[in-house]
Structure 1
Amino acid sequence: MTDLLDRAVETVRALPPEVQDDLARLLLQLAGEEQAGLPLTPDEEASFAESLAQAERGEFASDEEIRAIWAKHGL
């Protein structure tokens, strides 16, 4: 293991377990190991299904709505 990777692992060890797992999944994916998707909660599934239905109906945010979101976040 390189010194840089060793330092990164030591730093990640101090993070909360859920963050450690997220970073481990990312590292494994970058290294070419396929990672299973995370299961969605019922609320997330419903929200996703509604978003797909809106897209199928052509219901997208207007340019004005997008600009308002950007402005809200200083973009």
Structure 2
Amino acid sequence: MTKLFEQAVETVRGLAPEMQDDLARMLLQLAGKDQPVFQLSAEEASSLDQSLAQADRGEFATDEQVSAIWAKHNL
């Protein structure tokens, strides 16, 4: 293992477990190892279902609502 790689691993050890797992998946994917499809939590799946249903009904944010969010976050 190279010194740079060892430095990267040591840095990642200090991150939250979720971030460590995300980085590990990316590294494995870059190395050519297929990774399982990401699994949504029950709460995330429910939120996604609600969003898809809203889109199916044509319920989208207005231009004014989008502009307000952008302004709120200085975008």
Q: Which of the five TM-score ranges fits, normalised by the shorter chain?
A: 0.7 to 0.9
Query: Alpha-carbon deviation of 1:74?
Result: 0.9
Q: Provide structure 2 residue ranges, at least 5 long, that are not aligned to the other structure.
A: none
Residue by residue over 1:16-39, the C-alpha shift from the partner in whole angstroms, topping out at 9 and shown as x without a partner, is 322211211122223332221332
Letter in 2 for 1:50: Q
Counterpart residue number, 2:62 = 62
Counterpart residue number, 1:42 = 42
Counterpart residue number, 1:17 = 17
TM-score (norm 2): 0.79
Greater mean alpha carbon deviation, residues 14-23 or residues 56-65: 14-23
- Rounded Cα–Cα distance in structure 1 between residues aligned with 2:59 and 2:46: 17
TM-score (norm 1): 0.79
Query: Alpha-carbon deviation of 1:50?
Result: 1.0
> Percent sequence identity over matched residues?
63
Letter in 1 for 2:50: E
Greater mean alpha carbon deviation, residues 58-67 or residues 4-13: 4-13
Q: Provide structure 1 residue ranges, at least 5 long, that are not aligned to the other structure.
A: none
Query: Pairwise CA RMSD of aligned residues?
Result: 1.7
